[in-house]
A = this chain, B = another copy of it.
């Protein structure tokens, strides 16, 4: 299988916030919803996306941008679902800003897409600092990472509209306190939606698909 790989250029614009608002406005006008999905490395972003695509691909024309410093392993996995997937290489950079996101979107929406998803670089710090222009921000925290992460990475939790707690199937093997985790997340962000899932088995993914679908409909209204 061949992968389309875009080598992103470093942005030349000074104000990322302005560029992000501009991009968001353009996407709104075109009726394209953009979800920015973030997490630590290995929290299950790609597996969650595959399950979410399966739930929503008859309803929306989905396109996925896989951002990584190197490799195209995730794009190959997403391409198996039949939706359009492109690989973005950040050239070592730890995050995507609005202009880098636009470079990917330009390639992605040559096809017909109304739900675009950006799988950001695996990193709980830097991606939170740069508005990508997304309609909504989502993040995944997986059970093996521990319930104390909202204490250590405050910004990431405070900017996300929804937090998926993944790998709940292995909870018995880890000291993970779901109630404490929810409490810490809401300390950072009282409005965050929290959805426990197991992307591997599909448990809870219907709830996330429902949430995402409601956001897309509200965006297009």
Is A149's beta carbon under 8 Å from chain B?
yes
How many chain copies? Answer: 2
A122 vs B188: C-alpha distance when bound (angstroms): 18
A26 vs B8: C-alpha distance when bound (angstroms): 40
A125 vs B151: C-alpha distance when bound (angstroms): 20
A142 vs B41: C-alpha distance when bound (angstroms): 10
Interface size on A, residues (CB 8 A): 33
- Give A21 Cβ to nearest chain B Cβ, in Å: 22
A73 vs B152: C-alpha distance when bound (angstroms): 9
Q: What is the 8 Å Cβ interface bit string for chain A, positions 113-129, against chain B (1 contact, 0 not)?
A: 00000000111111001
A152 vs B142: C-alpha distance when bound (angstroms): 19
- B42 in contact with A151 (CB, 8 Å): no
Choose among B41, B129, B148, B170 the residue that contacts A40 (Cβ–Cβ < 8 A). B41
- Give A160 Cβ to nearest chain B Cβ, in Å: 15
- A167 in contact with B152 (CB, 8 Å): no
Q: Which residues of A contact B (CB under 8 A)?
A: 40-42, 68-71, 73, 92, 94, 121-126, 129, 142, 144-146, 148-149, 151-155, 167, 169-170, 173-174
27 A-B residue pairings within 8 Å (CB atoms): A40-B40, A40-B41, A41-B145, A41-B152, A42-B142, A42-B146, A42-B149, A68-B152, A69-B152, A69-B153, A69-B154, A70-B151, A70-B153, A71-B148, A92-B129, A94-B94, A94-B123, A94-B126, A121-B125, A122-B124, A123-B123, A126-B126, A142-B144, A144-B144, A144-B145, A170-B174, A173-B173
